[in-house]
Amino acid sequence: MDATPVWFMRQAGRYMAEYRELRKKHSILELAKTPALACEVTLQPIRRLPIDAAILFADILLPVEPLGLKLRFAPGPSILNPVRTDQDVARLRDKTAAADLGFVYDAVRLIRRELAGKVPLIGFAGAPYTVASYMVEGGPSKNYQRVKAMMTDRPDLWDKLMRKVRQVTAAYLQAQAAAGAQALQLFDSWIGDLSPEQYRRFVRPHSAWVLKEISQCGVPVISFGTGTNGFLEDFAEAGGDVVGVDWRIDLDAARKRLGKRPVQGNLDPVLLFSNKKALKSAVKNVVDRNGGRKGHIFNLGHGILPQTPVENVEAVADWVHEMTSR
Amino acid sequence: MDATPVWFMRQAGRYMAEYRELRKKHSILELAKTPALACEVTLQPIRRLPIDAAILFADILLPVEPLGLKLRFAPGPSILNPVRTDQDVARLRDKTAAADLGFVYDAVRLIRRELAGKVPLIGFAGAPYTVASYMVEGGPSKNYQRVKAMMTDRPDLWDKLMRKVRQVTAAYLQAQAAAGAQALQLFDSWIGDLSPEQYRRFVRPHSAWVLKEISQCGVPVISFGTGTNGFLEDFAEAGGDVVGVDWRIDLDAARKRLGKRPVQGNLDPVLLFSNKKALKSAVKNVVDRNGGRKGHIFNLGHGILPQTPVENVEAVADWVHEMTSR
């Protein structure tokens, strides 16, 4: 079959009863840090849904702990000792921190064994900007005031911070690939709040560095960002084999701007709450805008939301396969 | 002088000590509903800053009260009886609701008299989508799940709601112009979360209807939206003499996509917290990207944030004037 491949960001998550059952007994960090549990959660959607890839269950903030920060989920992530000063940045560990994330690499090995070739396994990490933003803000932020202040008023300190984050990010992804991840995705979930100028000056060099480092891993790399519309060409130039876009852009417009680069996306996750007819028409809109071209991985524009009906996720995967089978 | 005109969204607001002083004694709704106070607050930034326009102090949600909804600020706006069902929509009053906002028109008349021609007065309203979103969600929303569900699953109901909202919006703006507003801005602060397809199908017809209705008022109309990057051409086609953009797009890219249409924007409001050197360079970046063309109104990409240093706002206005004087 020649159909467009489908997977879903956050396909291992709260919308599945199996996942909620496990979460009653274990915290997010317990799931992520126990290879057998991370493996189980990673496999849950594979057992249930007709999807074409597994994605490692982990959290983009896992690397901040070995860097020296205190991470809590309550229930959203927060960092108890955020990075604000020269001393804070100087204290962060170097890239050897990635070696402390052995439970992730063990999970990768276990999942590969359990998958037994059924579908490939995607590893991932947060992109330097998104991870550094959390480290500076300490948690989700409305206006990203602190992180933008560091960029603008202390570009030297920002640069030091980003160099540390990018090194651990690359080492972390390289180790996932070495353990058996068959593709890697870099998530830049927060860059959509930057101006194109801020992205180009303060973010792109560091993302490009990571993407270049991991291009040596011998596996395809997906570079995903939300709200990249204002600097999509710049974002694509930073690297990655596939560019992931959110739902705020027409897929045909994205493909046109990206030339021959394969694209991943881009259904609005909120549409998964719609009735079947409206949802199918929205899926068809994405498929049609791809215009029968190859080089499309069907996905959402962001992660599956917690209350999403699982049967709708299943239907979307089926429809994409039907609509694109030749 | 031939310099680029400057004003700031939310220039009457908490970043000014004078405003905070008044807010100790009066709620936001008291300020907005008492013409003498609305006038005072509108004039505060005019007295202090070298800006080229006043903007009426009001809230985009004022029209929801005469429509039949209960509005509270605690401190953010919330609607106690949000609109979810056929009955909720049927119960909403028609466009005669705009007549109940006489305190706004009185404020406009008073401000015009007090300004005595010093600078023009801009009136404004929330665009139908942003106001209807608040009405459905009941307050700020992370994923706009309810409003998108209504669009997708009950397009008939959504259409009825938007027709009611657009009528009161147009009548409200027409009455502001009749009372003396010398320009009008339509604020679509929330549309940036829509896909281009959602915007075109469920929002644009209604915004276009309002923009056409008020084009008869004989005053220039600014159509402002955040996150319009994915459908900027569609947004511009909906109408308005000037298109307002946020900071997520390079101003030269926006101007190129908008052809001869004048543009308003687009400094990131967070940059107003920067040191003077970095801030000046960011202002110069916006001015340079306009490339000396006429038809630019300098503004932020969104409203001034509460803790912004007032001296930075003043410096920005001065710099824009200096940089663009010929």
Q: Is A225 in the B-facing interface, judged by CB distances under 8 Å?
A: no
- Nearest residue to A209 via CA among A173, A254, A261, A249: A173
* Share of residues in chain B with pLDDT > 90 (%): 96
Tokens linked to B193: 């979360």
Of A149, A194, A273, the CB nearest to B274: A149
Q: Which residue of A has its CA nearest to B228?
A: A248
Closest Cα in chain B to A145? B270
Of B14, B189, B266, B270, which to mutate for an interface test with A (greatest number of A Cβ within 10 Å)? B270
CB of A281 less than 8 A from some CB of B = no
Give residue B2's pLDDT. 83
Residue-level pLDDT at A141: 87
Give the tens place of pLDDT for each residue, B82-126. Answer: 999 999 999 999 989 999 999 999 999 999 999 999 999 999 999
A-chain residues near B229 (CB < 8 A): 229-230, 248-249
Q: To the nearest whole angstrom, how far is the Cα of B247 from the nearest Cα of chain A?
A: 5
Q: Are B290 and B325 in contact (CB under 8 A)?
A: no
What one-character DSSP code corresponds to residue A250? -
Residue from A268, A277, A289, A307 to probe the interface with B (highest B Cβ count within 10 Å): A268
Radius of gyration of chain B (CA): 19
| β-strand partners of B204 | none
Mean pLDDT over A60-78 rounds to 94
Cα A26 to Cα A75, A189, A301: the distances in Å are: 13, 26, 28
Partners of residue A275 in chain B, C-beta under 8 Å: 152-153
Q: Is the dihedral of CA B224, B225, B227, B233 positive or negative?
A: negative
Q: Residue B99 gets which letter from DSSP?
A: G
Say whether domain B17-324 belongs to CATH 3.20.20.210.
yes
Q: What is the pLDDT along chain B (326 residues), one digit of tens a residue?
A: 589 999 999 999 999 999 999 999 999 999 999 999 999 999 999 999 999 999 999 999 999 999 999 999 988 899 999 999 999 999 999 989 999 999 999 999 999 999 999 999 999 999 999 999 999 999 888 899 999 999 999 999 999 999 999 999 999 999 999 999 999 999 999 999 999 999 999 999 999 999 999 999 999 999 999 999 999 999 999 999 999 999 999 999 999 999 999 999 999 999 999 999 999 999 999 999 999 999 999 999 999 999 999 999 999 999 999 999 97
User: Counting Cβ atoms within 10 Å, is residue A76 exposed (0-12), middle (13-18) or buried (19+)?
Assistant: exposed
> Is B91 considered catalytic here?
no
Q: Looking at the predicted structure, is the pLDDT value of residue A223 above 90?
A: yes
Minimum distance, in Å, between the CA of residue A285 and any CA atom of chain B? 9
ipTM value:
0.94
Convert the pLDDT of each residue in A112-158 to its tens digit: 999 999 999 999 999 999 999 999 999 888 899 999 999 999 999 99
Rama region for B24: left / alpha / beta (φ>0; ψ in -120 to 50; rest)? alpha
Across the interface, whether the CB atoms of B275 and A153 are under 8 A apart is answered: yes
Angle at B186 between CA B42 and CA B255, to 5 degrees: 110
CB-CB under 8 Å, A230 with B230: no
Q: Is the pLDDT of residue A1 over 60?
A: no
Task: Specify the pLDDT at position B142.
Answer: 87
CA distance B196 to A268: 11
B303 touches chain A (CB under 8 A): no
Question: Which of A192, A193, A196 is nearest residue B250 as measured by Cβ atoms?
Answer: A196
Work out the mean pLDDT of chain B and round it to a whole number.
97
pLDDT for the residue numbered B326: 76
pLDDT of A142: 87
* Segment A186-213, tens digit of pLDDT: 999 999 999 999 999 999 999 999 999 9
Please check the confidence at residue A305 and state whether its pLDDT lies above 70: yes
Angstrom CA distances, A311 to A5, A209, B77, B182, stand at: 18, 40, 36, 54
Q: Decide if B234 touches A, using CB distance below 8 A.
A: no
Strand-pair partners of A242: A222
Of A256, A208, A247, A225, nearest to A130 by C-alpha is A225
Q: Where are the domains of chain A?
A: 17-324
If you average pLDDT over every residue of chain A, what do you get?
97
Q: How far is A87 from chain B (nearest CA, A)?
A: 21
Give the tens place of pLDDT for each residue, A11-57: 999 999 999 999 999 999 999 999 999 999 999 999 999 999 999 99
Please answer yes or no on whether A268 and B153 come within 8 Å at the CB atom: no
Torsion sign (Cα): A30, A35, A40, A41: positive
Separation CA A227–CA B248 (nearest Å): 8
B253 touches chain A (CB under 8 A): yes
In this predicted structure, the answer to whether residue A183 has a pLDDT above a threshold of 90 is yes
Mutation choice for B interface testing from A143, A270, A316 by most B CBs within 10 A: A270
- Please, what sign has the CA dihedral across residues A151, A153, A155, A159? negative
Show which of residues 28-87 on chain A sit within 8 Å of chain B, judged by CB atoms: none
Q: What letter represents residue B279's amino acid?
A: L
